[in-house]
Amino acid sequence: MKAPAPAPATPGVDAQAFRGGMRRLAGAVCILTLRKGELRAGLTATAVVSVSAEPPRLLVCINRNVFAHRLLEVGAALCVNVLHESNLQVAQSFAGMLEGVDGEQRFRHGAWRDAEDDGAPRLEDALTAFQCRVVELIDASSHSMVLCEVRQVHLPAHAEAAPLLYFDGRFAGLDTL
């Protein structure tokens, strides 16, 4: 019996077309924060997904070119802070959108608390926050996929606030899409 012929290669998708398509995928806006010794770092991210409830796991994606990536290692503490509409300035700060604000200065926007057990900064008025421990790092092109074990969930009293979203290249609320 003759082996089937390999499927013809499909042409690659143009990066600009891919970005255009991804602009149509609305995502929740999160701030990912880490601490290693005296160093704190954070970034605005929309690449956060639930992996499983038992055990509770999240997957986040972090560009290898950002400073926060240098603090990543298996066992590191990481906090996923889910933002609401009133956290717009915090999101802009950690996305590098506020002129003259970078590094540690980003933590001047919002009320931050270092977790007692691991030190990963948590935004006190986030919609919710997941205190995590990194369990696996997977190289994926320009990013690392970071598998995290959720160790604690913070649900502030204002948990019914509207989420901050990222859509079509801008931050938006549910009513402004």
What confidence tens digit (pLDDT) does each residue in 24-37 have? Answer: 999 999 999 999 88
**pLDDT, tens only, 95-138:** 999 999 989 999 999 999 987 777 799 999 999 999 999 999 99
Confirm if 155 and 161 have CB atoms less than 8 A apart.
Answer: no
Confirm if 48 and 29 have CB atoms less than 8 A apart.
Answer: no
Confirm if 95 and 104 have CB atoms less than 8 A apart.
Answer: no
> Span 7-23, mean pLDDT?
81
What are the distances in angstroms from CA 162 to CA 60, 62, 87, 104, 173?
22, 25, 10, 28, 7
pLDDT exceeds 70 at position 140: yes
pLDDT exceeds 80 at position 9: no
pTM above 0.85, yes or no: yes
* Nearest one of 37, 35, 18, 29 to 81, comparing CA atoms: 29
pLDDT at 159: 58
In the chain, beta strands by DSSP E: 27-28, 30-36, 39-45, 48-53, 56-63, 77-82, 112-114, 121-123, 128-140, 143-154, 165-167, 170-172
pLDDT at 114: 86
Domain boundaries, the chain: 29-170
Query: Would you state the structure tokens that stand for residue 70, as one six-digit string?
Result: 């240098």
Average pLDDT over the chain reads: 90
Indicate the pLDDT class of residue 158, thresholds 50, 70 and 90: low
β-pairing verdict for 77-82 and 165-167:
unpaired
Share of the chain above pLDDT 70, in %: 92
What is the CATH architecture assignment of 29-170? Answer: Roll (2.30)
> Span 62-68, mean pLDDT?
94
